[in-house]
Structure 1
Amino acid sequence: MGLTTSVPGPERLDEFVMRNVDVVSAQEQSALRGGRLLVAGCGSVGASLAEPLVRMGIGSLVLADPESFDLHNINRQACVLADVGRSKARVLDERLHAINPYLDTTVYDEGLTEANLEASLTGVSVIFDAIDAASSPWVKYRVHQLAAERRIPVISGFDFGGKAVLYVFDYRRKKTRPFYGRASEEAHREGRLSECLTWLGYTHFPADFLPVISDRMVTKQPWPQVSYCVLAMGALGTRCVLELLMCRRVPHIVAFDTHMKMRGRFARIAQVAKVPLRLVDALVAAKKGPSATPAVAQVSPVDAVLAAHPVLRSVIEAMVLAPSPHNCQPWHFTVLNDREIQIGWDRSRALPAVDPEGFAIAYGLGCAIEAAASVADIGFRHSEQEDILAPDYVAGVLTVHGLKADGYVRARGLLESRTSNRHRFIDVPVADEVGRRCDRLVAPFRSRAVVMKQSNATLYRMGHRGALDLFRSRAYMDELFDFMRLSRKEVDADPTGFTPDGLGLGRAETFAMALLRRLAPLRRALSPLGLARAMAKNATATIRSPSSFALIATSDFTARGRIDVGRAIMRTWLELTAEHLVCQPIDFPISTPQGRDAVAAMFGLTSGERPVVLLRVGRAKVLNASRSPRRSIASFCAIAPDFHAVATQAHNVADEVLA
């Protein structure tokens, strides 16, 4: 009799990877969920890292391989006897979906060809090149050629007997030719194998494998491969992909020789020498005994209801990942029943200096609604209220039909990865199709998204003037400093606002900001003496660095229109994030009527359209060290009295049944 198991819902996504915690950081986990890897070749080398990456939590894969499994693949590839004769790419896709049914995959069982190569690279953040240079040299070259043009990093894997070697071509770091110029286009066109592999070098071939290399270069027989080397390849490749997703530098060559590790002596001696000290540490820790029994945590009514309705909790968790002005996190959610959430805002989070009319608050509410739409099938019913600042204002009611099974993992990862990046970017042109797609995506919200290159110098001058006007305002400065969280203690006490990492501040600058915040009279005295000008220069400095821009505009200035343009902002930002681009909102150029008019003309808006948000767009050189802080889920929520009574009764009945 067989066992039947139910598939856990996507709301339990975090449980899939909970054992990664404290080895993989939250930011790394988000990068994995939002990442898209092209596995070019799904045999032993390519499949070696596909499965561990899925188990680690990657959100999206493109699988390409024209071959089918043969009996001789059993010794090291991810297949069983029943798979012989079946497509490698299709079998791998089924295996990966058996591990995570919410994985987003695209399969090319015809392999990579000139006809599908461009499409296969869409949205890809890293490429793993496991293409056989002997059978498909030109396709291999074209993958590197397009990756170099698009500044996408490529990892090429080789296993030499017992040694797994990764060659990392980080085309983001410098504009260069395929294979760093170490192999010619002509050699690949003509299939001259030895010349196609000159980029391998000579220093990383293990001595016991050199005779095999010499033989195979002549006979063209299949390369010998063993399972334990494939596993080593998967371990190295998995971590290497994660490092690249985090925009970290990776050595050009990463290798592990299983044979040599078995023969090594000095490394073993060094490890043995550490045993006494570590043993003492363990004995001391054991003598201290266990810590006092912690008090049982009290579960709030909100947490109890959300625990009983994990889909609603997942949607609310997605909504609070949305951006908001000054990271004030103004959202207030009232759970009406097991499917409906009323969307409002907390008046204590108002920004009277920077947002006196509440327009930016409305944009933040719209961003939260669209964040929910990215992970769930929802409906949204607007309210008829127009006064956003009214004490009883609510934006409307969100109806949750269920989480999206298809692509949920990546959608959640994109939400977690989306952030305001205030560092300098790698200037990568945004494809015209991406801009057109963004504009199409926001059209249902009566909005425009214009993505294009513009004069950085012109926008910098406009932004500097707008920033200078704001930094000369006492009310604006007081509000800005009120939202600065300049230490870990301050973030823990109130996880909103700006952190030094989010502002791109170094230690000296953080100390200076803390001093100016504490000594408000000094700050006000220094403002006309150059402080305002210095802060404006610092706040707008990155606008001068090369980048593209995305302008979101609307012609609907009703309360409903402002909610909808907030959804357009979020949809555009997530689409750009899916293309592995990072964004920085730079509202200073459009902070005055004159600036808005000038920017509207630069971006070709019609007379009835008004700029709402301007984003600086590019490829990340450096990622923020951490995500913007967020308050607890319960702090955003209230439970409607009727539903609270029903939920409490159901919870009590469940407790009695369990008892």
Structure 2
Amino acid sequence: MHATYDARLQEAARAMIRPADGFSYEQAFSRNVGWVTLEEQQRLREARVAIAGLGGVGGSHVTTLARLGIGALSIADFDTFDYSNFNRQAGATLASVGKAKVQIAAAMASDINPEMDIRIFPGGVSSDNIDAFLDGVSVYVDGLDFFAFEARQLVFAACRAKGIPAVTAAPLGMGAAVLVFMPQGMSFEDYFGFEGRSNAEKALRFLVGLAPARLHSAHLVVPSRIDLTEQRGPSTAMGCMLCSGVAATEALKLILGRGPVWSAPWGYQFDAFGRRMGKTWRPGGHRNPLQRLAISIGQRRLGIPTAKP
């Protein structure tokens, strides 16, 4: 049934950790109880969360959700670790350079919870494996690279079709911007308006849509390090770790059905450097007048031509 994920790589990941002599799930995650009930902890144990992309935020999502006691993960990434990952990515060490991110992430999660059921998709997500990747999933947490537009459109559309809530948390500077897409709410496409756009314009629309409050913009001291056309930008470990905290919190609320969830067109951004929090609302998504104005200003400043869908 799950021939599109690599069980052999999963076994290789498990071989990297110590035997689980004396491991007890109840003991390992007992300190969660108080913020969750015993019954809720069991529901987390029975839940499966999918994470596509195991880079800056994705790897941190894996370890945070594992420590929350989530019982099953589906993880996807085609990349290997390199030295440029050291400033922010969980699992990026001298020992992991050149090794598959899915293998290292699975080993880290299994080392926290050796009972965890982990499905590994070492080729990333595609139309060929999206059904297997999302099979039995309670919540999808987005860890894809900022510029992975095709894969992101595919996953969010599939989540909507399958009735799976999808959470995206973007590390912006030393903070996090969060959006939740519910199956019955505004869709990813209606919010961002990617269809028919160039990659440069998708990057601009994604950035503007993620953080309409722009709380991070005042702290960028070397603007030239951002180039949407060349698909590169700076990042910090603080931003990535904040993302994993808020994304796991949203996943917990969705799995347990407890606590408010602000879904698109609502969103929020926390900027740790400026110690500010912003809640945003963009009814109409990318068609909202404020969004259209922000996109238009960004196009002029960055020299990005407008593409008619």
Fold match by TM threshold 0.5: yes
Q: 1:250 aligns with which of 258, 261, 283?
A: 261
Instruction: Name the one with the larger helix percent.
Output: 1
Aligned partner of 1:160 in structure 2 is 172
Give yes or no for contact 1:48–1:231 (8 Å, CA) kept in 2: yes
Q: What SS does the aligned partner of 2:49 have?
A: strand
Describe the SS at the equivalent of 1:187. coil
Query: Residues of 1 paired with 2:44 and 2:165: CA distance?
Result: 15
- Tell me, in whole angstroms, the C-alpha distance in 2 between the residues paired with 1:181 and 1:258: 26
Which residue in the other structure is 1:488 paired with?
A: none
Matches within 5 A, 1:57-456: 57-79=69-91, 80-134=93-147, 136-171=148-183, 174-187=184-197, 192-209=202-219, 216-218=226-228, 220-248=230-258, 249-252=260-263, 253-261=267-275
Q: 1:207 to 1:91 in 2, by over 3 A?
A: same
2: CA distance between counterparts of 1:203 and 1:100? 38
Q: Distance in 1 between matches of 2:157 and 2:231?
A: 27
What TM-score, normalized by structure 1, do the two folds share? 0.36
Partners of 1:247 and 1:64 lie apart in 2 by 26
Following superposition, the deviation at residue 146 of structure 1 comes to 1.1
- Does structure 1 residue 26 correspond to structure 2 residue 67? no
The whole-number CA distance in structure 1 between the counterparts of 2:269 and 2:195 is: 27
Partners of 1:211 and 1:170 lie apart in 2 by 36
What 5-or-longer segments of structure 2 have no aligned partner? 1-16, 278-309
Q: Using the TM superposition, give the Cα deviation of residue 20 of structure 1 relative to its aligned residue in structure 2, in angstroms.
A: 1.5
Q: What secondary structure sits across from 1:186 in the alignment?
A: coil
SS of alignment partner, residue 79 of structure 2: coil
Q: Retained in 1: the 8 A contact 2:194–2:202? A: no
Q: 1:127 to 1:49 in 2, by over 3 A?
A: same
| Equivalent residues of 1:153, 1:169 under 8 A apart | yes
Matching residue's letter, 2:236 = V
Segments of 5+ residues of structure 1 without an aligned counterpart are: 265-659
Residue identity opposite 2:127 in structure 1? E
**Aligned partner of 1:185: which letter?**
E
For 2:87 and 2:156, the matched residues in 1 are separated by: 30
Counterpart-to-counterpart distance in 2, 1:220 and 1:177: 27
AA of the residue aligned to 1:250: V
Q: In the superposition, relative to structure 1, how do residues 189 and 146 fare at CA in structure 2: closer, same or farther (>3 Å)?
A: farther
CA–CA distance in structure 1, aligned partners of residues 172 and 200 of structure 2: 25
How far does residue 198 in structure 1 lie from its aligned partner after superposition?
Answer: 4.8
Equivalent-residue separation in structure 1 for 2:198 and 2:181 (angstroms): 18
Cα distance in 2 for residues equivalent to 1:131 and 1:123: 20
- Aligned to 1:78, what secondary structure does the other structure show? coil
Partners of 1:179 and 1:199 within 8 A in 2: no
The Cα of 1:204 is off from its aligned counterpart by 3.6
Contact conserved, 1:138 with 1:191, CA < 8 A, in 2?
no
Partners of 1:177 and 1:166 in 2: how far apart? Answer: 15
Q: Distance in 1 between matches of 2:108 and 2:43?
A: 23
CA 1:113–1:59: 2 relative to 1, 3 Å: same
The answer (yes or no) to whether the contact 1:75–1:226 under 8 Å persists in 2 is yes
Alpha-carbon distance, 1:190 to partner:
9.2
Structure 1 pair 190/60, CA: closer, same or farther in 2 (3 Å)?
Answer: same
TM-score by length of 2: 0.74
1:569-602 Cα distance to aligned partner (Å, 9 max, x none): xxxxxxxxxxxxxxxxxxxxxxxxxxxxxxxxxx
| SS of alignment partner, residue 164 of structure 1 | strand
The verdict on how the C-alpha distance between 1:212 and 1:91 changes in structure 2, with shifts beyond 3 A counting, is same
> Which amino acid in structure 1 is aligned with residue 38 of structure 2?
A
Q: 1:225 to 1:201 in 2, by over 3 A?
A: closer
Cα RMSD, aligned residues only? 2.7
1:121 is matched by which residue type in structure 2? Answer: L
Deviation digits for residues 612-643 of structure 1 (CA, Å, limit 9, x no counterpart): xxxxxxxxxxxxxxxxxxxxxxxxxxxxxxxx
Cα deviation digits, residues 327-375 of structure 1 (max 9, x gap): xxxxxxxxxxxxxxxxxxxxxxxxxxxxxxxxxxxxxxxxxxxxxxxxx
Structure showing greater radius of gyration is: 1
Shift of 1:28: 2.4
CA contact (8 A) 2:47 2:137 kept: yes
1:213–1:34 Cα change, 3 Å: farther
For residues 244-273 of structure 1, the C-alpha deviation after alignment (integer angstroms, 9 at most, x for no partner) is 111243124243321023x99xxxxxxxxx
Cα distance, 1:160 vs. partner? Answer: 1.0
CA contact (8 A) 1:137 1:191 kept: no
Q: Which amino acid aligns with 1:207?
A: S
The 1:190–1:217 alpha-carbon spacing in structure 2 relative to 1, beyond 3 Å, is closer
Q: Distance in 1 between matches of 2:200 and 2:249?
A: 35
CA separation of 1:117/1:190 partners in 2, compared to 1, >3 Å: closer, same or farther?
farther
Identity %: 29
Give the whole-Å Cα distance in 2 for the aligned partners of 1:144 and 1:213.
30
Q: Deviations over 1:511-551 (max 9, x none)?
A: xxxxxxxxxxxxxxxxxxxxxxxxxxxxxxxxxxxxxxxxx
State whether residues 188 and 196 of structure 1, in contact with CA within 8 Å, keep that contact through their aligned partners in structure 2: no
Deviation of the 1:111 alpha carbon? 0.5
Shift of 1:48: 1.5
Say if 1:255 and 1:202 are closer, same or farther in 2 by CA, change over 3 A. closer
Report if aligned partners of 2:177, 2:210 keep a CA contact under 8 Å in 1.
Answer: no
Distance in 2 (CA, whole Å) between partners of 1:259 and 1:159 is 13
SS at 2:60's partner residue? Answer: helix
Partners of 2:177 and 2:211 within 8 A in 1: no
